[in-house]
Homo-oligomer: A and B are copies of this chain.
Amino acid sequence: MRTDRPRLMDIALLHYPVVNKRGETIGSAVTNLDLHDLARAGRTYGIDTCWIVTPYDEQRKLARRIISHWTDGYGGKVNPDRREALSILRICSDLDEVLAGCVARWGKRPRVLATCASPRPNTRSYETVREQVRRDEPHLLLFGTAWGLSPEVMAGVDATLPPLKGRGEYNHLSVRSAVAIILDRLLAER
């Protein structure tokens, strides 16, 4: 069904470790609509795999059940486009598992980039990353739920994409919106 070769790019949505509004490390809940919106955006922009990361066994079971309704069940029969989108989702427990999955497909560790709503040192521009992806260098983009990725995750990445700048100081996009915009900036055909 899929005729285009995916980019050497994965994204991962982390539900742990992320921070709450007080900056404390927490685990957040998987939500149905994140799965759909990220899968649809990911498939539209031709990424390889969208990882849904949670250490909670019950949450992984729930996510797998939702996905299977669309990939193997009734949902996919009545809406094949949605089946194609949700088939790029993979559920796993932690970031190590994501990286192992990337290495298994690509033969090398991807460059790991964090996304963050606040300015950071060690940023890499959207143009630079866009060019690197076009040259088939493998990339993994990390997105945090709740109030964003925890400091320990941020400390372990290779670089960070600049915050999305709209107009003025306000930037409180949903993670669904941030994923869509960043994929468009990095991967849209021009």
Cα–Cα distance between A178 and B183 once the two chains are bound (Å): 12
Residue in B closest to A37 when the chains form the complex, CB atoms: B174
Provide the residues of chain B in CB contact with A173, threshold 8 Å: 40-41, 44, 180
Most chain-B Cβ atoms within 10 A of its Cβ — which of A178, A179, A180?
A: A180
Cα–Cα distance between A124 and B183 once the two chains are bound (Å): 22
Query: Which chain A residues in 14-63 approach chain B with CB under 8 Å?
Result: 21, 33, 36-37, 40-41, 43-46
User: Contacting A82 at CB < 8 Å: which of B7, B168, B172, B176?
Assistant: B172
Cα–Cα distance between A45 and B181 once the two chains are bound (Å): 12
Provide the residues of chain B in CB contact with A181, threshold 8 Å: 180-181, 184
List 12 A–B pairs whose Cβ atoms lie within 8 Å, in order of A's numbering: A21-B79, A33-B33, A40-B172, A41-B174, A44-B172, A44-B173, A45-B166, A46-B168, A166-B183, A176-B176, A177-B179, A181-B181
Report A's interface with B, CB cutoff 8 A.
2-4, 7, 21, 33, 36-37, 40-41, 43-46, 79, 81-82, 84-85, 164-174, 176-181, 183-185, 187-189
